[in-house]
């Protein structure tokens, strides 16, 4: 590794728009994000995948008897 060409790696603070603060290490000292694991619907369980056009059901019906698919 060459001396003097790498950025400083140290303590960092990530602040989410929801107010959650995460302490980690990075080359940047402070970062601000819009969503984090504390407020993102995928991680909180508030939102699930919605299949509005019936694509999943259509796929399952079309390939129901296909020998390679597990049920």
Domains located in the chain, CATH noted: 10-62 (4.10.80.400)
Look at residues 8, 32, 31 and name the one whose alpha carbon lies nearest to residue 18: 32
Summarised one tens digit per residue, pLDDT across range 10-49 is 999 999 999 999 999 999 999 999 988 888 877 777 766 6
Q: Which residue has the tokens 């940047």?
A: 28
- Entry pTM: 0.55
Residue 20 to residues 27, 31, 43, Cα–Cα distance (Å): 20, 12, 14
pLDDT beyond 70 at 70: no
CB proximity list for 12: less than 8 A, separation 6 or greater: 23, 24, 25, 26, 28, 29, 30, 31
Structure tokens at 63: 């390939």
């Amino acid at each position: 590794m060459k001396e003097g060409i790498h950025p400083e790696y140290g303590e960092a603070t990530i602040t989410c728009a929801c107010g959650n603060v995460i302490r980690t290490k990075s080359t940047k000292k402070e970062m601000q994000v819009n969503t984090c694991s504390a407020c993102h619907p995928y991680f909180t369980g508030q939102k699930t995948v919605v299949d509005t056009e019936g694509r999943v059901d259509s796929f399952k019906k079309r390939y129901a008897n296909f020998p390679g698919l597990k049920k």
